[in-house]
Structure 1
């Protein structure tokens, strides 16, 4: 595992503050384009992004509430460990059965939600604005999943400790998710591996590798594949099954988009897949 030398660290922070000064020039249209950003530029965008700042604020508030309610150490530690352990499996279930399900876009009431929370991301995986979920969707989901766990273990204090932990996990996931779409080759072998697996999900076959930092659920439930040779390339890797025929039958997403579903993201070459 490689580490930063003093010169590398100095160069990183210099690039970070240069990115801050030139932040406006990083925008392409309505979004930061991860395909054109360096790692320091990502750090700058991530640490100043309103959604992430909102999560940081909620982490501080929920931690403060948990501490104000006089938590007991044992139940709090158990809660934190359970949330950390459950989080990747909860993400897997949501990603596979809800975000990649077809029932949301087939209902006019939920079609725009599906478009926002996942379809737009697969149509153009490098856009930062659609990579982050809307807090209006993510926050209630996190709270519904983790707070009952904490409440059952130790009451109100551990419920808020569970919420803080879930939000921390979300911030970690969101950062590594950005790394996986960044024009950057990670130095750490583990980060490089999870990036490769996620790129396969976006550019080879969407029906697999649903994890972000953890692929244990994929391995357990048979949706893991390690490289492009393991399975044929999917025809729906960019449209998630919402092709032109489906769009004609269920037009609400296409109406919101203002154009037919794209068969590849802008700039992607025909037949491209992860390497």
Structure 2
């Protein structure tokens, strides 16, 4: 008996279709469709609205939270140099979290119905439609939920007076990451560093999806051995 392979209908809401792809999902989701107009996810207008976020909402919503968090540590008596150091440490913590989430969670291999469905919502949709401008940044509602475990993580290795500034630094790192990510897809950089980052990230999308997990830098890719070989060759040729 021949089992007919499931085909996704791109003209219908996608989220509850992709799970049926089973073991072929990973191959399908890494065949990008380059279009600035993304697909519809849900039949429900309410749920659909939660999946779409304009890039400027990220700094507008979260920078005030960053300032408020840092101000808490200021009010607790820390000096400006101490605050600056804690914020920088928070940003550093975020860079490792950014890399780890992208490598170990966003690129997890799935084949079950709900595994494929959740992966598509979390990151697969970005690889399938990498130029969808309204699904490039993380929805604020989801970020708000993730702030709670991040706060508790910071609390594990810091004092009560340091936690707010470290958290604020980490959240600032996240804001920098999300707006940078949007720019790498839709901006036209002219300077050397952003041009290199854009090339590096698009290489991850269109050539080697299992390498180059850094977005704001390639630092952790170098540390953990996921720096693409062709990028190394390109550096040596310059």
Asked if 1:198 is matched to 2:201, the reply is yes
CA separation of 1:229 and 1:218: change in aligned 2, threshold 3 A: closer
Query: Which of these residues, 85, 88, 113, is aligned with residue 81 of structure 1?
Result: 88
Cα distance in 1 between the residues matched to 2:216 and 2:129:
21
Q: Which moved more, 1:160-169 or 1:221-230?
A: 221-230
CA separation of 1:214 and 1:199: change in aligned 2, threshold 3 A: same
Which residue in 1 is equivalent to 2:12?
none
Displacement after TM superposition at 1:112 (Å):
4.2
Which residue in 2 is equivalent to 1:53?
60
Q: Do 2:37 and 2:132's aligned partners in 1 also have CA atoms closer than 8 Å?
A: no
Unpaired stretches in structure 2, ≥5 consecutive residues? 1-35, 41-53, 234-238
Give the structure, 1 or 2, with the largest relative contact order (CA under 8 Å, sep 6 or more).
2
Q: How does 1:172-251 map to 2 (within 5 A)?
A: 172-182=176-186, 184=188, 186-225=189-228, 227=230
Q: Do 1:148 and 1:159's aligned partners in 2 also have CA atoms closer than 8 Å?
A: no
CA separation of 1:146 and 1:87: change in aligned 2, threshold 3 A: farther
Q: Deviations along 1:190-219, whole A, 9 cap, x unmatched?
A: 111011000000111100110012111111
Displacement after TM superposition at 1:92 (Å):
1.0
Query: Which of these residues, 102, 114, 117, is aligned with residue 122 of structure 2?
Result: 117
Q: Deviations along 1:101-160, whole A, 9 cap, x unmatched?
A: 024x6362x6544222201111111112211112333344455346543663331x3211
Query: Which of these residues, 87, 97, 101, is aligned with residue 94 of structure 1?
Result: 101
Cα distance in 2 between the residues matched to 1:98 and 1:120:
14
Q: Do 2:70 and 2:83's aligned partners in 1 also have CA atoms closer than 8 Å?
A: no
CA separation of 1:73 and 1:127: change in aligned 2, threshold 3 A: same
Between the two proteins, the alignment pairs up a number of residues equal to: 185
DSSP 3-state at the match of 1:54: helix
Unpaired stretches in structure 1, ≥5 consecutive residues? 1-26, 32-44, 231-275
DSSP 3-state at the match of 1:181: helix
Asked if 1:130 is matched to 2:159, the reply is no
Query: Which of these residues, 158, 167, 172, is aligned with residue 171 of structure 2?
Result: 167
Q: Do 1:147 and 1:159's aligned partners in 2 also have CA atoms closer than 8 Å?
A: no
TM-score by length of 2: 0.65
Q: Do 1:146 and 1:166's aligned partners in 2 also have CA atoms closer than 8 Å?
A: no
Q: Which moved more, 1:132-141 or 1:206-215?
A: 132-141
Displacement after TM superposition at 1:189 (Å):
0.3
Cα distance in 2 between the residues matched to 1:221 and 1:151:
24
TM-score by length of 1: 0.57
